[in-house]
């Protein structure tokens, strides 16, 4: 499901249920997610008070009162739901927290590409899943000059470079396609040719598309919903993603599709160069 806007939306949604509240019980029905969950995770969490959840790239981090951190990654198919009372659990509800308020937070993930972990106190910078992450695209670090600098000499297509979490962390397949369309850049263009005005334009497009998606509550594809059951409305504003053969909203040229590094790319052959 989730790229940065969806994860940000989930984080905001679960924040009121978790922040300042104690975990009353933990329901853990399988430990074989992307990697085996750490031993004793349920016991570690039980009874602890949660702090304010934070987001880093596509990860959610919940600080705990013993200064360790609960790390949550939703993978491709992960979702979090909130309930006021104990719910009926489904097959893929692998991990749930019962809060002292009586509400439940349920982590569900059919494909099990998601992951949960406990980060030791002070260990976030060294965590193997976090240490290599690049800059946050909504931070001040992202600028035209910075982007042209990190892309200098890169012969990979710009599409692949934008998906590389070691450079910019949080973009995924939907928003990379959308940002490239918004900035008039072909997904095939070599990364090293993005500089100057073109880099500025791409940076603005990345920020604009992410901010708009967050504001819309993310993009709901297929049956995915946000924690409270709401859908994300950004799906109605996608310009190219999933619109193969449909007219470009700018120039009416049919949208084309290709595969790059095993992932679908969607682009307007007329607007994007």
Partner DNA sequence: CGCGCTCCCTGGCCGC
Partner DNA sequence: TGCGGCCAGGGAGCGC
Q: Which is nearer to DNA, 45 or 151 (CB)?
A: 151
Q: Which is nearer to DNA, 21 or 260 (CB)?
A: 260
In terms of phi and psi (left: phi > 0; alpha: psi -120 to 50; beta: otherwise), the region of 183 is alpha
Catalytic: which of 11, 55, 58, 256? Answer: 58
**Beta carbon of residue 37, minimum distance to DNA (angstroms, whole number):** 14
For DNA, the binding residues in 39-68 under the rule CB under 7 A are 57-58
Catalytic: which of 2, 157, 187, 227? Answer: 2
Q: Which is nearer to DNA, 219 or 272 (CB)?
A: 219
Q: Which is nearer to DNA, 63 or 78 (CB)?
A: 78
Q: Residue ranges of the alpha helices (H) in the chain? A: 4-18, 41-45, 144-151, 158-163, 173-182, 196-215
Rounded to the nearest 5 percent, the helix, strand and coil shares of the chain are: 25, 25, 50
Torsion sign, CA atoms 241, 245, 251, 252: negative
Candidate residues 113, 134, 150, 250; the one interacting with DNA per rule CB under 7 A: 113
For DNA, the binding residues in 203-262 under the rule CB under 7 A are 218-224, 232, 261-262
**Beta carbon of residue 200, minimum distance to DNA (angstroms, whole number):** 22
Q: Which is nearer to DNA, 31 or 156 (CB)?
A: 156
d(CA 53, CA 69): 10
**Beta carbon of residue 19, minimum distance to DNA (angstroms, whole number):** 24
Catalytic: which of 3, 8, 98, 178? Answer: 3
Kindly state the number of chain residues that form the binding site for DNA, as judged by CB under 7 A.
43
Centre a 10 Å sphere on the Cβ of residue 28 and count the other Cβ atoms it contains: 16
Q: Which is nearer to DNA, 136 or 164 (CB)?
A: 164
**Beta carbon of residue 49, minimum distance to DNA (angstroms, whole number):** 28
**Beta carbon of residue 97, minimum distance to DNA (angstroms, whole number):** 22
For DNA, the binding residues in 137-176 under the rule CB under 7 A are 154-157, 160, 163-165, 172-174
Order of all β-strands in the sheet with 69-73: 54-56, 59-63, 69-73, 115-119
Catalytic: which of 24, 27, 49, 263? Answer: 263
Closest CA to 160 of 124, 128, 151: 151
The interface region with DNA, picked from 18-26, 38-46, 72-80, 94-102 by CB under 7 A, is 72-80
Q: Is residue 19 a contact partner of residue 53, using CB atoms and an 8 Å limit?
A: yes
Q: Which residues contact 90 (CB under 8 A, 6 or more apart)?
A: 108
Closest CA to 181 of 201, 160, 156: 201
d(CA 144, CA 73): 29
Respond yes or no: is residue 58 known to be catalytic. Answer: yes
d(CA 217, CA 219): 7
Catalytic residues: 2-3, 58, 263
Catalog residues that contact DNA under the rule CB under 7 A.
1-3, 6, 34, 57-58, 73, 75-77, 91-92, 110-113, 129, 132, 154-157, 160, 163-165, 172-174, 191, 218-224, 232, 261-264
């Amino acid at each position: 499901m989730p790229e940065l806007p969806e994860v940000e939306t989930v984080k905001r949604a679960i924040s009121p249920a978790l922040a300042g509240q104690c975990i009353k019980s933990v329901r853990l029905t399988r430990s074989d997610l992307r990697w085996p969950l750490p031993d004793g995770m349920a016991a570690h969490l039980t009874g602890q008070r949660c702090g304010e959840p934070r987001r880093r790239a596509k990860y959610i981090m919940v600080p705990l009162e013993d200064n360790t951190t609960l790390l949550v990654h939703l993978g491709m198919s992960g979702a979090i739901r909130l309930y006021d009372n104990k719910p009926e659990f489904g097959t893929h509800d692998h991990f749930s927290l019962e809060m002292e308020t009586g509400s439940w937070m349920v982590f569900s993930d059919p494909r099990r590409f998601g992951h949960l972990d406990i980060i030791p106190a002070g260990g976030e910078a060294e965590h193997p899943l976090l240490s290599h992450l690049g800059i946050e695209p909504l931070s001040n670090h992202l600028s035209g000059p910075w982007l042209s600098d990190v892309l200098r000499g890169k012969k990979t297509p710009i599409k692949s470079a934008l998906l590389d979490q070691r450079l910019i962390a949080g973009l995924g397949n939907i928003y990379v396609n959308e940002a490239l369309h918004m900035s008039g850049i072909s997904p095939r263009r070599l990364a090293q040719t993005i500089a100057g005005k073109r880099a500025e334009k791409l940076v603005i497009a990345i920020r604009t598309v992410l901010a708009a998606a967050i504001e819309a509550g993310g993009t709901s594809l297929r049956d995915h919903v946000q924690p409270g059951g709401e859908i994300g409305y950004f799906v109605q504003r996608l310009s190219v993603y999933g619109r193969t053969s449909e007219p470009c909203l700018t120039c009416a040229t049919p949208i084309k599709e290709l595969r790059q590094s095993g992932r679908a790319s969607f682009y307007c052959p007329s607007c994007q160069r």
